[in-house]
Amino acid sequence: MIGFTLRRLTWGIPVLWLVATATFALMHVVPGGPFDQEKSLPPEIQANVDAKYHLDQPVLRQYFFYLGDLLRGDLGPSYKYLGRNVNDMIRETFPVSMQLGLWAVLISVILGLGAGIIAAARPLSWADHAGMFLATAGISVPSFVIGTFLIFLFSYRLHLFPAALWEGWRYSVLPAVTLALLPTAYIARLTRSSLLEVLHKDFIRTVRAKGFGERQVILKHALKNSVTPVVSFLGPLTATLVTGSFVVEFIFSVPGMGRYFITAVTNRDYPLIMGVTLVYAVLIVVANIVVDLIYIWLDPRMRIKNN
């Protein structure tokens, strides 16, 4: 297991290099520059600004400058947030997005697995139809509509939870639920379809013939063999939720990293674009490694394959 993990981490290094290189290339292929939207500056001041950020150098030299800083762990200064370093901006906002994302992952796994198991245990029943209806609604309704409804109901009407800001666990309930509803719907549908398929396998018939109750059949024997599609979905899902959601963080005024995914692109803030992209790429690599380890734990045949 340790050797497998180290091999996957080693393969993650060239992946991150490719992501950094592709992102750098795309930023410089798109017409325009980071200061084009500013008011026109005198030529000597514009030259000083370009020299400060190495924008007066050829693109290839800028690329090597960036790689050198990246190897030292320096993501560079922000072009739009003057006096602020990208490392500091991510360090301040990422813990908030991570906390919100982990709460959303926990909620989506608990509710999604529960709804999928109930629906698969009683196919075509009212519980199955109700669960799949709510799952379809969770996929179809935009998050800003769900967030606005939750604020109206639980903050304005019932006064149970704060409507915005981030000053304690009560402030995380509504944004976490809003962020979790879409993945909850996907997990519920994946669990139901996979569990229904496994429940018709021969080994499940054997388990039932031995006299085991339906709860033991589902939870002890069928669920472990049907949860692999959910595990595959949880890898990129966790990375996506942990890095924040621009819409949810904007609605609830959460000081997370999600807003930088949008503002960095619109502002052409090259270092910030690279920073948030690399954070997302690192989380994807780590999440995929964790998913592979869970696969090995769920299916012992994978241990032989990876040895």
In a domain, 77, yes or no: no
What six digits make up the tokens of 213?
Answer: 């109750």
Q: So what's the pLDDT on residue 1?
A: 66
**Taking the model in full, what pTM does it have?**
0.84
Q: Are residues 25 and 107 in the same domain?
A: no
Measured distance CA(172)–CA(241) in Å, rounded: 14
In a domain, 252, yes or no: yes
What six digits make up the tokens of 176?
Answer: 């976490």
Cβ proximity of 75 and 211 under 8 Å: no
Q: So what's the pLDDT on residue 150?
A: 92
Q: So what's the pLDDT on residue 176?
A: 93
| Domain containing residue 176: CATH number | 1.10.3720.10
Q: So what's the pLDDT on residue 205?
A: 86
Q: Are residues 145 and 174 in the same domain?
A: yes
Q: Are residues 149 and 279 in the same domain?
A: yes
Residue pLDDT, tens place only, 64-100? 988 888 888 888 888 888 788 999 999 999 999 999 9
In a domain, 76, yes or no: no
Q: Are residues 226 and 284 in the same domain?
A: yes
Q: Which of 167, 183, 160, 185 has the alpha carbon at shortest distance from 252?
A: 167
Q: So what's the pLDDT on residue 88?
A: 92
In a domain, 79, yes or no: no
Q: Are residues 203 and 120 in the same domain?
A: yes
In a domain, 81, yes or no: no
**Which residue range forms the structural domain that includes residue 18?**
2-71
Q: Are residues 116 and 54 in the same domain?
A: no
Checking phi first, is residue 89 left (phi over 0); if not, alpha (psi -120 to 50) or beta? Answer: alpha
Q: What is the mean pLDDT of the chain?
A: 85
Q: So what's the pLDDT on residue 168?
A: 84
- Low-confidence stretches of the chain (pLDDT < 50) are none
Number of domains present in the structure of the chain? 2
Q: Which of 215, 282, 246 has the alpha carbon at shortest distance from 16?
A: 282
Measured distance CA(248)–CA(236) in Å, rounded: 18
Q: So what's the pLDDT on residue 83?
A: 81
In whole angstroms, how far apart are CA 293 and each of 12, 288, 289, 290, 305?
15, 9, 6, 5, 13
Q: So what's the pLDDT on residue 41?
A: 65
Residues in contact with 257: Cβ distance below 8 Å, sequence separation at least 6, in sequence order: 90, 93, 94, 96, 97, 243, 244, 276, 279
